[in-house]
Each structure stands twice: as C-alpha cells, then as structure tokens.
Structure 1
Amino acid sequence: MDKRQFIKSCALAATLVPLVSCANVIAAHSGRTASRLLPVALNPGDTVALVSPSKATDHKIDVQIAEEVMAALGLNVKTAPHLTARRGHLAGTDAERAGDINAMFADKDVRAIICLRGGSGAARLLPLLDYELIRNNPKILLGYSDITALHNAIHAQTGLVTFHGPNGTGSWNSFNADQFRRVFFERELMQYQNVIDAKDELAPRQNRTITITGGKVQGELIGGNLTVLTALAGSPYLPDFSGKILFIEDVEEAPYRVDRMLSTLKLMGALDKIAGFIFGECTDCSPGGGYGWLTMDQIFDDHIKPLNIPAYRGAMIGHIKQQFIVPVGGRVELDADAGTFRLLESVFQS
C-alpha cells in the first residue's frame, strides 16, 4: 500500500471538475456530522455490488475470487462498469470511479456495496460523490484502508453508518466470514473481543490487548486508517470528533510518522474532543535506523494517556488476516480494562 502517493493525490482533488451539484459540498460543515442514518439490512440472496474506488486491481483472478466469496456467502454479485479499469495506479479516472459508486447507490437492485481493494485514490472522489443520492438510498458500504476516506466523508455528509472491514480481495477466512454473517445477516449486537490462542506458549503472544487508560465509556465510533484520516484534516469530509470513540490502525508506517499523525490530530483539536480511544494493529511499523526513535508505548503515553479517557490498543482492526467488521457511526460501549467494545443498538433499519 503506497500511502505516499495517496497524500500527494489529495492536493489534486481540489482541481477536479465536480460531477454533482456544488450544493453537495457547500452543504458540508467542516467538523460536523449529519444526523445518524442507518442502512437497509442485508439478507442471503440479496445483490451486492463490487466497486473499485482506489488502486487498480493487477490480476483478473482477484475479481473472480471476490465474486466467488460473495457467492459463497449466499449473495448475488453485480460488478460496477469500471471495476477493472485503469488510469496509472488508479482503477480508472476519478469520474469513472465516483460514477460507479453513485450508480450503485442509485441501483434499486443493489443492497450493499463492497469495495474491491484499498491502496490510494479514494480521497480524489470525495467532491464527486452525490451525497444527497446516498442519503436517499442508505446502503451498506464495506471496506478498509484507503476506503477510510469514503467512510468518513459519507458519514460526515449524510450520517450514514458504514462498515470498516475486509475488502473484496482481502482474506475471507472463517473468522472474517463469520463476522460478515453475524454483523449483516444475523444483525447481532456484536461483542468485539480478540480471539486469544496461546498455541504452544505458556502465555499467549498473539492478539494481546494493552490498556492505556482504564475505564468504560459509551459513544459513536469514528476512524479507520490513521494516514488516510489525518490527510482529510481541514476538509469538510471529516466527522465531528466530539464525544466519539476513535479507532485507528495503520500499515508500513515508522513510529515517528505515527507520532506525527497523532500530533496532527492533537493540533487540530480532535484528540481533545474524543471520549474513548481504540488502536488496532500497526502492521509492519518497525522503526528505521538513525539516532533512535520513540517506541509505540511512548507515543501512546505522550498523546493518549494525558487525555485521561478509556483507551486500549491491540484490537483486531487493521491490515491483518482476521478483522473485526466495525460500524463507523455505530454506538458502542468501550471497556478499556477488558480490551473490548460492544454494540449498544442496531445499526440497520428495522
């Protein structure tokens, strides 16, 4: 995942010619979130759409596998017109990718939208999405990593609850498939608790959680990939952080860059507004050489512990094989001592 390209691409988005009414952007309030809107429920036999908002897919078999996964889950699949398009590293032009998303929200036969993969480029689409159309056709949107840009923009602009979880080309092991069925088909009020397996160790090493500050708190979830989230700073596509529980994760970022991004959230006032904090996994986030570095423990002690809010790290969220499917905008209770959070109410229309 080349997030350096993503950051550069953010500046290009401002030069794009809007495909939808400027009122969609003018209506946005930076740092505010629309009233919460729930998506329609999903059932076996429904039709889901595959879209590709970010990086192009290099191999046709990846699309075939994503289609087979959805079919194995008992769903019919509709592919967006430009799913396999390419423009440079992107899955087609901005107009094509945004048009596919708008079209799938408008399509009455489609009940959910699954993002094929992440990478970079989703932020370029934010001025081109038809938020009034999305608001009038609330559907499940599933994806993670670069899809963080879509989750936050759509939630900020429409209030729609979307879902941070596996992309279509990701790993669909038994854990992730079980998460999908429980969240979407059974509409379970999920208890998000890491799966602990000691294997051949006297004490388990995998999926450990670490309490930063103990306590319990209730609030709505916002967040996603830290790099993508902070790149939205200063735009109308970032939800209000007030009273929210922030969850973040990242990949291939040295600790000093994590420190810098948390500093950005601090300087913009976001961290001082949140009520709780969950850090997932920072995959391949090893420090480089040089004159030393802050450890991740020190970074959390510097930025999160002084907030004196319930906070923990190690949740099964991020660029890992087994992932929680987390509702962005869902109301949860966080228990930082136990290293868990649980849904308090349904995130689907009744």
Structure 2
Amino acid sequence: MISYPTLKKEATIGVTAPSSGVQEALHDMFRLAIERMSSRGFNVVTGDTAWTQDKAKSAPSRNRAEEFNEMMRNEEIDAIIPPWGGELLIEVLQDIDFSSIKNKWLLGYSDISALMLAITLKTGIATAHGTNFVDLRGEYWDETTAMWQEVLSTKPGGTVIQHSSPQYQKEWKHGEPAPCVFDLTEETEWKTVGDNPVKLEGRLLGGCIDILRHLVGTDYGDVAAFREEHIPSEPVIWFLENCDMNATDLRRSLVQMKYAGWFENCSGILFGRSDANAPVGNYTAEDVYQAMADELGIPIVYDIDCGHMPPQVTFINGAHAIVDVADGKGTVEQRFV
C-alpha cells in the first residue's frame, strides 16, 4: 500500500538543500522564486543550506541531513521543495531519519531523485519527480510545469491526467530568461522502440539514472523489499532520465540494474529527453533502448517530458499509472491508490 500526501491551499513550503544550495551570485534569482511563490499564496520557509554552496554541496552532509530531518518533522511545513539538484546527495542518505518521514510531499529531480526513491522504497510514502523550486520563479508557468500543483493537490483515491508538452527547451539560456523561465522552442515528440503505439500500466518508480544506479545493492535501493511489502505482484513502470552519461555508460548502468532485479515484473521503461547520451563510436542511445526492449521483452518509450530538458511531467513514485503513447504524443494517468 502507498501513502499519498496532499498539498493544501496556501501551503507552507520548506526549501532546504540536501544536495546543492544557491551560490551568492544567484541569490537574486532565488529571492525572485520565493517572491513568485509567495505571490501565489504559498508561505515559503528557507533553511540555511539553501543559501550556501561550496565544494560541490550546500554544506557538510550531516548538516544537510539534519536540516532536512528537521523540516520533515516540522508540523508547520506542508511540503519540501529543494532549490535544485546537484552532485553529492548520496552523502546524506546515511543520516536521514527514515523512521520520522512524514506524509508530506518532497518534490524535485536530478540529484534529489536518489532521496525521493529511497524514501518511497523504504517507507511506502509517495514522492514527486518534477520541477525544482528555482524554476518556479517565472511570471507564469507553462502548462506542463504548472501541473505540479494539481498533481500534488490530488487526494488519495483520486486520479490526475497529464499530457505531453507541445514544445520543450533545447538549451538553457540563463542570460535571456523567458517569462515562464524556459525557452520552449522545439516540438515535443514522444517516441517508441519500433514506432508502434504503446500502452503501459503499473506502479511508477524512477528518477535520474546517473545517481539511482549508485543505490543498487544498498539498503536505499531495495526494490525487491518494497515490492513485497507495498505493491505485491504489481508491475512497475520505470521512468529514467540521463543527465551526464554517454551511451555506453547508460548501457552499463541499465545492465547493472537488470542484474540487480530492478526490472523484474516491469511493464515498460520511459526515458526522458537528454542532451547527454553521446554516442561511442556508432553506438547510440537508440541502440541502448533497442537492446533493453529486446532483452526484457517490454515496450520502451523515449524522449518523454522528464529531466534536464524541460518542461516536465510530474511523476509520482508509487502511483498506479496508465501511460498511452501514439503519434508522438503521450498521456499519463496517475491514480493515487
């Protein structure tokens, strides 16, 4: 059984940085995000770690974990949204108090996805893979990003439907910010191996494969125990996005996950768009997707709205999902059951 938090109106958002904080040169951008969220009716509480950054992290790992634990225990904080991802989230996992995790949303992506997946696997509490806090600083939100609020406000037992974006951002232009933050210029096309329509059903699990692969074989990545306790006999749909890996590193990571049993009773894999996936020789990401489809005998969908080429569909770790993909478009129905 999965437990689903519910985002209430005028919620208090805790912003803490279990990975990277915001360096001083970008504090104005961070303040703008706080102002925009406040103007939308949210109360924003920031931790000390959100304002600092040194040696590839916001603070020493113990400090980061303690601040996260405090915000999680704090009954006045309704949801936690880190400023963004980073590099060294994995250091904090040993000091996270999983026994005190409350039924409140944690929303983020990139490096944060290791903490989100670990929480869902260890506790059965749903977590939300989607936008980060700093990218909510726009004058308005594009229609795909904006769904984060509706998704997180869905009550247990409810259903929420999202659609693939009309356009996506090819590259970041921080010096030329758009009113909605993202520069959406490229036509979105969700693709499938074999170019056939695909319909998947199962429990969602996933995040940034660059860091999730490092949970394999650890207490924080015990997929088998989660399945047995929380979703017995139910298939899983994995959603994965690649931040920095080339094609062969992606392949090695997926094979490791396969060897660890992560893809047992898997109904399909969704891969996000990526500006990584560099080919090695003539070996491409598309070759990786084909290999996974052949070896696992499951549908593979790629270039979906997930990851470092926004906007993003908000995927809920643990939710029951039905994913339909045809003619370059996708629909994701999530049921909080």
Q: Report if TM-score (shorter chain) is over 0.5.
A: yes
The equivalent of 1:31 in structure 2 is none
Distance 1:75 1:278 in 2: 32
The answer for unaligned runs of 5 or more in structure 2 is 169-184, 228-234
Distance 2:144 2:94 in 1: 32
The equivalent of 2:218 in structure 1 is 235
Query: Deviation of residue 284 (structure 1)?
Result: 3.5
Distance 2:326 2:295 in 1: 17
The equivalent of 2:162 in structure 1 is 192
Letter in 1 for 2:14: A
Structure 2 residue 308 is the aligned partner of structure 1 residue 319: yes
The equivalent of 2:241 in structure 1 is 249
**Does the C-alpha gap of structure 1 residues 80 and 286 become closer, same or farther in structure 2, counting only changes over 3 Å?**
same
8 Å CA contact retained: 1:53, 1:122: yes
Q: How many residues align?
A: 302
Letter in 2 for 1:279: F
Query: Deviation of residue 215 (structure 1)?
Result: 4.2
Give the TM-score, by structure 1 length.
Answer: 0.79
Structure 2 residue 93 is the aligned partner of structure 1 residue 126: yes
Structure 2 residue 98 is the aligned partner of structure 1 residue 101: no
Letter in 1 for 2:11: D
Structure 2 residue 142 is the aligned partner of structure 1 residue 174: yes
Q: Percent identity?
A: 25
- The residue matched to 2:79 in structure 1 has which SS? strand
The equivalent of 1:71 in structure 2 is 38
8 Å CA contact retained: 1:163, 1:327: yes
Structure 1 runs (4+) deviating above 6 angstroms are none
**Does the C-alpha gap of structure 1 residues 315 and 232 become closer, same or farther in structure 2, counting only changes over 3 Å?**
same
Pairwise mapping of residues 263-302 of structure 1 onto structure 2 (< 5 A)? 263-287=255-279, 292-302=281-291
- The residue matched to 1:36 in structure 2 has which SS? coil
8 Å CA contact retained: 1:219, 1:332: yes
Distance 1:233 1:194 in 2: 30
Pairwise mapping of residues 198-237 of structure 1 onto structure 2 (< 5 A)? 206-212=187-193, 214-237=197-220
Distance 1:333 1:177 in 2: 20
8 Å CA contact retained: 1:50, 1:83: yes
**Does the C-alpha gap of structure 1 residues 197 and 127 become closer, same or farther in structure 2, counting only changes over 3 Å?**
closer
CA-to-aligned-CA distance 1:148-184 (integer Å, 9 cap, x gap): 1111110111111010011112365323552123213
Moved more, 107-116 or 263-272: 263-272
- The residue matched to 2:52 in structure 1 has which SS? coil
Once superposed, what is the RMSD of the aligned Cα atoms?
2.4
Letter in 1 for 2:271: F
Letter in 2 for 1:196: P
8 Å CA contact retained: 1:191, 1:340: no
**Does the C-alpha gap of structure 1 residues 191 and 314 become closer, same or farther in structure 2, counting only changes over 3 Å?**
farther
Moved more, 48-57 or 82-91: 82-91
8 Å CA contact retained: 2:20, 2:56: yes
Pairwise mapping of residues 51-90 of structure 1 onto structure 2 (< 5 A)? 51-58=16-23, 59-90=26-57
Of 217, 231, 252, the residue aligned with 1:260 is: 252
CA-to-aligned-CA distance 1:125-146 (integer Å, 9 cap, x gap): 1111111110xx2101000000
Query: Deviation of residue 337 (structure 1)?
Result: 4.3
8 Å CA contact retained: 2:279, 2:285: no
Structure 2 residue 282 is the aligned partner of structure 1 residue 304: no
Distance 1:151 1:69 in 2: 25
Moved more, 111-120 or 80-89: 80-89
